[in-house]
Amino acid sequence: MNIPTQGRVSLPVALNWHFEPRCNYRCKFCFAHFADIEEKSDYPIPKLYADLYTRSVRKITFVGGEPMLDRRIDHRITLAAEMGFTTCLVTNGTKVTPRWLDKMRVHLHWIGFSIDASNDHLHALIGRGRAGEIKKGYSKHLERSLVSWNAAKVLGYNLKLNTVVCRHNRYDNMSELVARLAPDRWKVFQALPIKGENDHVWDELEISSEEFSAWVSRHRHLLPVVESNDLMTGSYCMLDGKLRFYNNVGGEFKHSTPIPEVGMDRAWAEIESMFSDDVFSGRGGIWSWEVTK
């Protein structure tokens, strides 16, 4: 894609687009509920992508909520790939079928599955499961995820595993499971408190830096990419369903004015001081995401 960039602001090379606020899971540590988004923006996606590309974005990660709940997800991914972006989807896997994976193989470069524990007993405690399951005290998340993961592996996808460590799973050992899954990239996050998102249950979830470090040490031989609370703060370029840039400032999300109202340059200017290039680079925000399979 050859679009002139002169005169434009420069955005981080990687963008997380949390375009779908809804989710069919009830993860207690979730900090992406988007309770204030009743209707998503209908801003033209081709224009959004073109504006992002001219401002240096080269990878778009489609996130939620649960992004697979949006009926336009196929179009969003396909168009992004056609316009030259590396595409990544982070999902709980409930809507990921072998047929869908086969159809999207050309356009979706990376798929990330969220698995937090070696067993579904722990997933139930965390809330990682369908709303109906969690209400009844159980989860089949790992069972479902393994089916989707194996189907994606057969089709040759680049696979990323995401794991959040909190009080409920701090003593778990995922070594055997992760060795079997053999992800191309494994990201491990310390559960992050955000005001208005998960602070009402934080007493149940909080994990100390020492406990998190012990969990990481137990899995160090599998080479996880580790992100503590400090590394997650101010190091992500994020866009929500209203097309507002936002970031974590002092344990609370701060938002820009929506892009459709003021344009991309002004919206980013409102939030730019909250983003740290140094922390972004320090946490490995730029990595070899070029398609390898």
* E strand or H helix at 15: strand 14-18
Q: For 103, what's the count of Cα atoms within 13 Å in the CB-facing half-sphere?
A: 10
Instruction: Give the DSSP letter string of 48-80.
Output: HHHHHHHTT--EEEEESS-GGGSTTHHHHHHHH
54's tokens: 């001219």
Which of the following is catalytic: 23, 88, 166, 237?
23
Residue 37 burial (CB count, 10 A): 18
Task: Give the span between the Cα atoms of 187 and 141, in whole angstroms.
Answer: 18
137's tokens: 């005290």
CA 27 to chain centre: 14
Strands of 238-240's sheet in order across = 225-227, 185-190, 158-165, 110-114, 86-91, 59-63, 14-18, 238-240, 245-249, 252-255
Which of the following is catalytic: 27, 88, 166, 237?
27
Residue 236 burial (CB count, 10 A): 20
- Is 237 one of the catalytic residues? no
Closest among 103, 92, 85 to 46, alpha carbons compared: 85
- Is 30 one of the catalytic residues? yes
Q: Hey, CA dihedral for 169, 175, 179, 183, is it positive or negative?
A: positive
- Is 27 one of the catalytic residues? yes
Rounded alpha-carbon distances, angstroms, from residue 4 to 73, 131, 183, 212: 28, 47, 36, 45
Catalytically annotated residues = 23, 27, 30
